[in-house]
A and B are shown apart, each in its own frame.
Chain A
Amino acid sequence: MLLSMNWLKDYINIDIDKDELVRKLNLMSAEVEGLEKMVEATNLAIGFVETCVMHPDSDHLHVCVVDTGNEKLDIICGAPNVEAGQKVIVALPGANLPGGLKIKKAKIRGIESNGMICSLSELGIDHKYHQEDGIHVLSSDAPLGGDPLAWLSLDDYILNLDLTPNRADLLSHLGVAYELGAVLNESVNVSNPDPEEDQEKNPVCVFTETSDCESYYARVIKDVKVGLSPRWMQSRLIACGIRPINNVVDITNYVMLEYGQPLHAFDYDKLVSGQILVRNAKEGELIVTLDGKKRELDPADVVITDGNVPIALAGVMGGLETEIDDNTTTILLESATFSPYAVRKTSKRLALQSESSNRFERGLDPARTRLAANRAAELFREYCGGRILRGINYFDVNDAGDTVILTTMAKIESVTGKRYTEKELEDVFERLNFRAKITDDDITVYAPSRRQDIKTYQDVIEEIVRINGYNNIPMTLPKTITTGTLTDIQKQRRMLRSFMLDLGFDEVTTYTLTNEHNARMFDDSNKKVIKILNPISEERASLRHSLLPSLISVLKYNKDHKQDEACLFEIGKGYFDEGEEEFLSGIMNGSYRMSKWQHDQANIDFYLAKGIIIAILKKLGLEDIDFQIPDKKLPGFHPGVVANVTSKGKKIGVLGRFHPELEHSEEIGETYAFELNLGRIFGCGNKNIVMKPLSKYPSVSRDLAVIVDKNLPAGDLVETIRKMNMKSVRIVEIFDRYEGEKLGQDKKSIALSLVFQDDGKTLSTTDVDNFVNKIVGELAKKCQATLRE
């Protein structure tokens, strides 16, 4: 919200350093985005062009003699519209103009120029506000040698407030004046308009058929002459970011900026009937709005009609049919309030946001509807030469009374933690211009209608605290005694993250939203991808099922930036119709724990990744971990280097090498990846650990090498021994694998390390031999294994 400081000074004395004003507003009111001079220029004077001749060496430059009151200066001017006899804005030598331009004496094609004749654009007024192409010509009564900025009412400061949606009251100069009154502890002087009416009676009848119109005031002004509005009014509109158009439109805008009440002026003679009927639009009804666009209406829209056809979209935009033009002589002025929701709905649906809709959406002061109509009428009479017809015809169901709020000293203390004195509270209410009664503990506050945001005691407390000062609130800690702790799952997630880091993986965080292809890339279940209805782009339109595509992107990015080795992980969610599932996803590329020192590094392969998965799952207390060949193809993975990870027979994740086609297309080389479903892991570890007594008797180790069919999974040997359930077999491990010509082409040798121990006696060599023979026999039977000599 842009505000003119000169305008605010019409109502309130502002005698305070600029920085201090900004600080106070920030701490007590609203955030100040800026408080800057409207025109950043120095050393300007009003000059009179005595003579103006063409420059002898140029086809467009003029040589002017300009009287600035004190002296006569030769000034070269390139503007085509400069003429002798004009009053102009002169930037004298030494002047600073916006954009860092400095004016100095200079020779231009052999002739000395002692200053510059300025356009409004050169003073920093955007071209859209004045649409003048040459220098600005002042009226002939401008005082010679005077300050042109003061003459043009451009000697102003612009206050830019960043308003929150609740403070609709600050969308007007009057509202901000009241706020400054509270902030600076100054009184606010406002006089109500008192329009001088003609004898002729206002002929307009006002009706409404919709509850979305809460009030409607109509005035008629006759014999209006459309022309330019006064300079000061134009300057104030420009200061507030509104382009001056003509006196009629400017006055409606001016009063909106003054009172916060949007107004609309119809060309009365263009109305078919002399009445106003407000109603909801009919299905398929059409209106051409002021911007020339044809709009199809919806029954939720509120329209102003002349009893028959729509002539304006209530609160949003007027109709082209009844627009004010240069020949307009009679104005029908509307000042009304509409349902904020109805206005917002229409403005959203048609993507038509305006100064007017912005105010209606946030709610208006019902006490100002009539005042604004009268104020505008007054200005029409003064600046358009109109006659105000007698009477203001209206419809109004609004309650413009104060909102009465009851609270207590004790409640205020309980909520704020500060005991305010009666005097402190009285001071706050006085500054705010709120009536209030304080009797013992009870407080009654009468919030005026301009503060529609004050409805409850919480709102009143906010006013007290901000005006008295947030810095006066003490600092304590909550008295509520509670035990703070992470849940088991949160602890496990923390432990997992820390363990992954210790294993040499870097943690990454990637975007949840991706394209549809990536969203479903690793999903073998073909579940539906959840899509965003209103995405920023197709690249961020789908919620991912797997984190792996994002990890591939991160890997690729880092490889492109010469970071050749990467083990990465992310803990994050996949999103499905059935709900959100948390994953630990990892990707391994290059060599593990890279180091050039004596080639001290492990090559990443399936078995390293498998070992890491086992370490992770054991760390989380999982038991009965197994790796199984998937019974259906897992997209994205190498079909021969992939496994489902299971615990107690239930799938908890997947591990494998990426499909070579994927590795090739992404240019990442050999890469292993895993994704574990943490929902099936967290909290599933063994919690009931009971100590097992240690055997007092020594253990005996034996190694065993057997030859089996090359295609037999080596794990089957271990599984076979385990299934024998021999109580003395304590450890079975594979420690080597060998293939060679001696064994035959379709054979391989697997070396097993066995550890035997008994809880009741020392095992003899014969005992162990018997165990080994039994095992060899079982392996021969189940796995067609033969002992390797």
Chain B
Amino acid sequence: MEIKEQLAKIVAEAKSAAEGIKTPAELGDLKAAFLGKKSEFNTMMQQMKDLTPEERPAFGGIINAAKSEVTAFFDSAKERLDKEAVDAKLKQETIDISLPGRQMYVGAKHLISQVIEEIEDLFVGMGYTVEEGPEIESDKYNFEMLNFPKMHPARDMQDSFYISEDNLLRTHTSPVQIRTMLKAGGNKPIKVICPGKTYRKDDDDMTHSHQFAQIEALVVDENTSLADLKGTLLVLARKMFGEEREIRLRPSFFPFTEPSVEVDVSCHKCGGAGCSMCKGTGWIEILGAGMVNNNVLEACGYDSSRYQGFAFGMGVERVAILKYGIDDIRAFYTNDLRFNRQFR
């Protein structure tokens, strides 16, 4: 039948035309040409009136089928054009992501604050509270109640800045322990850490600073033991210097503790084999500790036949010096921003 061939030809022509469309204008023109009033489809439909009513549905069906085939070609052409347009726009909007970001400068927390907060968090997690106290202290709280009698040679261990005969800049944060025990009234268990600034009359050099920060801990209860101290120190050493660390205790002397110990941690640089950091010993001294001297408990209203306690104290700068390989304690107070900003 001639009409079928004719339609097939139109469909084929439309397909190739649609595929070749480059612009929306072309699409409009071709769409009008193939499907508009002047299209061949329209002309063919005019022939319907010459057919019998019986022939009309079949004839119309053939044409409409061809027509929807052609419409589909132009629809997909439109889709293709739309996509091309979007792609072109995206391409045009593409930026150089290697250019710098707008700076949201965030400051660096001072290393002393970092170490204090880290240790505070560790102990708060273990049920301790954080106690603070004044930096100008009485001789009574800083020394006497801590079992440093006046004129005792142990006072030579801590050269002090006095502001009057009875008041001085605290040489350690231990007076906060005295204040805490007095406040507790002699009958409550205590688990505190005490961070803060401390002062000793030293000339500033690479290893000495007249001002430094300390953190001390105090635990008092009916059954607090040396073993509890040792276990707590292991937790601390591993938190600060790595999970593989071990500790060892050596005899020492502090008037406010008995027994008193120095605590070494296995060297985090060489793992204990011996290196320049640990002077070949495999161990590094990090803090002093001991069981609270009964004289101190009694002075603070605790019955030493019932209560016992442990205490330890460490220099914050010393911890940071060891952890970060800092070679001069004065760097903490110089605040060279090139130094401070290395530790975030």
Contacts and interface: CB of A to CB of B under 8 A. Distances in A.
Contacts of B235: 477
Contact of B338 (A512, A563, A594): A563
A480 B333 contact: no
B251 A490 contact: no
Nearest to A465: B259
Interface stretch (A143-151, A160-168, A386-394, A647-655): A160-168
B161 interface: yes
Contacts of B126: 477, 484
Interface residues of B, number: 84
Contacts of B226: 415-418, 465, 473
Interface string B198-242: 010101000000110000000101011111101110110000000
A557 interface: yes
A477 B126 CA distance: 9
A558 B103 CA distance: 21
A498 B132 CA distance: 20
Nearest to B304: A458
A617 B160 CA distance: 38
B262 to A, nearest CB: 8
B130 to A, nearest CB: 6
Contact of B337 (A506, A509, A532): A506
A485 to B, nearest CB: 6
Interface string A462-480: 1001100011011111111
Interface stretch (B23-31, B33-41, B66-74, B109-117): B109-117
A482 B131 CA distance: 15
A595 interface: yes
Interface in A483-515: 483-487, 490, 494, 497-498, 500-513
B103 A597 contact: yes
Interface string A273-304: 00000000000000000000000000000000
Contacts of B219: 478, 480
A530 B134 contact: no
B228 A477 contact: yes
B107 A505 contact: yes
Nearest to A348: B151
A478 B201 contact: no
A532 B340 CA distance: 30
A741 B292 CA distance: 79
Nearest to B292: A458
Contact of A417 (B101, B110, B228, B333): B228
A37 interface: no
A563 B337 contact: yes
Q: Which of B106, B249, B308, B337 has the most CB of A within 10 A?
A: B337
A414 B189 CA distance: 16
B227 A416 contact: yes
A415 B151 contact: no
Given A165-B156, A486-B120, A594-B103, A497 B109 contact: yes
B227 A473 contact: yes
Contacts of A508: 110, 335, 340
Most buried by B among A459, A508, A536: A508
A313 B251 CA distance: 35
Interface in B235-289: 235, 248-253, 258-262
A164 B257 CA distance: 13
B103 A484 contact: no
A567 B336 CA distance: 13
Interface string B3-38: 000000000000000000000000000000000000
B80 interface: no
A540 interface: yes
Contacts of A415: 225-226, 291, 308
A504 B105 contact: yes
Most chain A CB atoms below 10 A, which of B105, B151, B262: B105
A480 B337 contact: no
B61 interface: no
Contacts of B337: 506, 558, 563, 566
Nearest to B221: A480
Contacts of B294: 456, 458
Given A166-B253, A477-B235, A580-B136, A595 B102 contact: yes
B334 interface: yes
A360 to B, nearest CB: 10
B46 interface: no
B77 to A, nearest CB: 43
A500 B250 contact: no
Given A415-B291, A458-B291, A482-B191, A501 B109 contact: yes
A575 B168 CA distance: 13
A561 B191 contact: no
A211 B157 CA distance: 28
A456 B297 CA distance: 14
B120 to A, nearest CB: 7
Contact of A580 (B105, B134, B211, B336): B134
Interface stretch (A27-35, A222-230, A745-753): A27-35
B293 interface: yes
A30 to B, nearest CB: 7
Contact of A507 (B105, B110, B169, B234): B110
Nearest to A341: B151
A531 interface: yes
Contacts of A554: 335
Contact of B104 (A486, A580, A593): A593
Contacts of B140: none
A204 interface: no
* Interface-central residue, A29, A417, A503, by most chain B CB under 10 Å: A417
B276 to A, nearest CB: 18
A463 to B, nearest CB: 9
A620 B106 CA distance: 19
A536 B200 CA distance: 10
Contacts of B136: 530, 543, 575, 580
B258 A456 contact: yes
B127 A483 contact: yes
B105 A458 contact: no
A456 B123 CA distance: 32
Contacts of A475: 227, 230-231, 234
A246 B156 CA distance: 33
A466 B151 contact: no
A733 B151 CA distance: 67
A431 interface: no
Nearest to A353: B156
B129 interface: yes
A178 B308 CA distance: 31
A633 to B, nearest CB: 29
A16 interface: no
A579 B123 CA distance: 29
Given A165-B157, A482-B127, A535-B161, A511 B211 contact: yes
B154 interface: yes
B333 A509 contact: yes
A531 B163 contact: yes
Contacts of B105: 504, 593-595
A771 B337 CA distance: 54
Contacts of B185: none
A216 to B, nearest CB: 22
A689 interface: no
A79 interface: no
A341 B20 CA distance: 112
A509 B230 contact: no
14 contacts: A26-B250, A166-B253, A416-B227, A466-B259, A484-B123, A504-B106, A507-B109, A509-B110, A513-B199, A532-B163, A534-B161, A558-B336, A563-B337, A595-B102
Interface of A: 26-31, 164-167, 340-341, 344-345, 348, 361-362, 414-418, 456, 458-459, 461-462, 465-466, 470-471, 473-487, 490, 494, 497-498, 500-513, 530-536, 540, 543, 554, 557-558, 561, 563, 566-569, 573, 575, 579-580, 593-595, 597, 600-601
Given A480-B191, A482-B191, A536-B201, 17 more contacts: A165-B152, A167-B253, A361-B153, A414-B223, A416-B227, A462-B259, A473-B227, A475-B231, A476-B228, A486-B120, A486-B124, A509-B333, A511-B210, A513-B211, A554-B335, A580-B134, A595-B102
